[in-house]
Amino acid sequence: MNPAESRPEDERPFRRLQRFERHLHGATQGHFDRDEQADDPWTDWLAVSFGLPHIDRLPPVELPAATRLNWLGWNAYHRDDPVTAATALSESWPIADEPIDRISAALGLGKLATGLGRWHTARNWTITALRLARRADRLYDVVRGYGALGEILLRGGREAEALVAFGAARRLLPAGGGERPRQLTYLATALSRSEDRWARDEAESLLMVALRLAIDADDPVGVRHALARLQMLEMRRGGAADIADRCGLEPARQRYREREIVGERTESAAKLAGGLLQLARAFAAFRRGELSLAIALASESHAGFADRSAERRWARLVLAAGDGHAPPPFAPHEVPLLAPPAPIIAIADAPFGRVPLDEDGFAALREQRADLDHAWSCRSAFFL
């Protein structure tokens, strides 16, 4: 007999509340145990509330219209389908009346604008999400908001402001939070852009910690992101070594490169991380004079970015530098994105709320040049 069925009827509600409390606590810290939650009764709630990348089905419950649209939008976002995502989230925003739904829609629209290189629009949607999250006292959403804002600022060329945003996310994250490796990687990415030697040394230390934490957590996406940034840091220091070889991490790299990633949405995240890693390795191979290897790595990266037009274009520019053929015209996704409301900027967000940001962050990608220096200069528009 199932132990749960043998419990007294009056005990079952208490047990359900215990499970709810456990998952609620985990959610506030960014802990989402994939194996445990696969058959857990609170999976539906977690899927809707946090748009978890490893949950692909729409919960079999009646949902409010805005909640359902948000789930569909985030699901499409994780599947690299920006048109469907933008349509769903843009429809959700005007009808959402619950704080969690408004935060989810605003944050999602900000992420979509980031992927389109529209830094100004992305910043305004994310500032809106942050304001709503603070008002609703949703700490984890505030952490997510500052992380998203830091990425926008960094890709928009505002490194100092990005460091402030990433630092805020790290400070607000509860001790032991499951997001710690990601926040370390975010902060290190900003530090690695600095010309200061101390900042780059600190970036390397943070990335090594993030890498070890990702390996311990069996997180292939986190491993690939950390390795990609370590490789780019090696290049910014003037080196050309394959970072996995230099750090004695070849077994880890091979393990997470060849590993099968289960689930369409997690596979998409893994392809992005893997594509960035291979592109970073391609730049290093070019610097070492290993042209055939560089072209092979750039080709692999280009194939992995199949549904990401900007990243795919960047990989194509790197390929052009290797084979000498000018790339075709850039054809980015045409995405109908809802305009953000005029942001109400809190005092805490003043350092980032009014800085000028470009609305065409991918302009350099349109140049049809077979030039490695140009391809390298495009790196600042990406979160690497």
Q: For every residue of the chain, which 3-state class applies, written as one string? A: CCHHHHCCHHHHHHHHHHHHHHHHHHHHHCCCCHHHHCCCCCHHHHHHHHCCCCCCCCCCCCCCHHHHHHHHHHHHHHCCCHHHHHHHHHHHHHHCCCHHHHHHHHHHHHHHHHHCCCHHHHHHHHHHHHHHHHHCCCHHHHHHHHHHHHHHHHHCCCHHHHHHHHHHHHHHCCCCCCCHHHHHHHHHHHHHCCCCHHHHHHHHHHHHHHHHHHHHCCCHHHHHHHHHHHHHHHHHCCCCCCHHHHCCCHHHHHHHHHCCCCCHHHHHHHHHHHHHHHHHHHHHHHHHCCHHHHHHHHHHHHHHCCCCHHHHHHHHHHHHHHHCCCCCCCCCCCCCCCCCCCCCCCHHHHHHHCCCCCCCCCHHHHCCCCCHHHHHHHHHHCCC
Q: Is the pLDDT of residue 381 over 90?
A: yes
> Highest mean pLDDT: which of 11-15, 41-45, 74-78, 102-106?
102-106
* Residue scoring higher pLDDT (255 or 145): 145
Q: How many Cα atoms occupy the beta-carbon half-sphere of 12 within 13 Å?
A: 8
Whose structure tokens read 């370590």?
230
Q: Which of 221, 167, 220 is nearest to 189 (CA)?
A: 167
Q: What mean pLDDT is predicted for residues 13-34? A: 58
Query: What is residue 151's predicted lDDT score, i.e. its pLDDT?
Result: 97
Task: Convert the pLDDT of each residue in 131-144 to its tens digit.
Answer: 999 999 988 899 99
Query: What is residue 25's predicted lDDT score, i.e. its pLDDT?
Result: 58
Query: What is residue 36's predicted lDDT score, i.e. its pLDDT?
Result: 47
Q: How confident is the model at residue 290 (pLDDT cuts 50, 70, 90)?
A: very high
Please tell me the distance from the alpha carbon of residue 229 to that of residue 257, in angstroms, as a whole number. Answer: 16
Q: How confident is the model at residue 45 (pLDDT cuts 50, 70, 90)?
A: low
Query: What is residue 353's predicted lDDT score, i.e. its pLDDT?
Result: 86
Query: What is residue 333's predicted lDDT score, i.e. its pLDDT?
Result: 79
Q: Which of 61, 94, 58 is nearest to 74 (CA)?
A: 58
161 in Cβ contact with 352 (< 8 Å):
yes
Query: What is residue 31's predicted lDDT score, i.e. its pLDDT?
Result: 52
* Residue scoring higher pLDDT (301 or 250): 301
Region of residue 65 (left: phi > 0; alpha: psi -120 to 50; beta: else): alpha
Q: Is the pLDDT of residue 8 over 80?
A: no
Residue 83 in tokens: 């048109």
Task: Convert the pLDDT of each residue in 328-376 to its tens digit.
Answer: 899 887 898 999 998 888 888 888 888 999 999 999 999 999 899 999 9
Percent residues over pLDDT 70 in the chain: 77
Task: Convert the pLDDT of each residue in 50-87 to its tens digit.
Answer: 655 545 566 556 778 998 899 889 989 988 899 999 99
* Residue scoring higher pLDDT (119 or 349): 119
What is the pLDDT of the chain when averaged over all its residues?
84
Query: What is residue 316's predicted lDDT score, i.e. its pLDDT?
Result: 95
Q: Which amino acid would we find at residue 347? A: I
Please tell me the distance from the alpha carbon of residue 304 to that of residue 310, in angstroms, as a whole number. Answer: 12
Residue 348 in tokens: 């805490």
Q: Is the pLDDT of residue 262 over 50?
A: no
Q: Which amino acid would we find at residue 41? A: P
47 in Cβ contact with 63 (< 8 Å):
no
Give the C-alpha distances (Å, rounded to integers) separating 91 from 33, 71, 296: 31, 12, 42
Cα-flanking dihedrals φ and ψ of residue 44, to 5°?
Answer: -60, -45
Please tell me the distance from the alpha carbon of residue 383 to that of residue 257, in angstroms, as a whole number. Answer: 20
This prediction's pTM: 0.85
Q: How many Cα atoms occupy the beta-carbon half-sphere of 244 within 13 Å?
A: 19
Task: Convert the pLDDT of each residue in 210-261 to its tens digit.
Answer: 998 888 888 888 889 999 999 999 999 999 998 877 666 655 555 555 454 4
Task: Convert the pLDDT of each residue in 173-202 to its tens digit.
Answer: 766 555 678 889 999 999 999 999 999 999
Which domains occur in the chain, in start order? 63-137 (1.25.40)
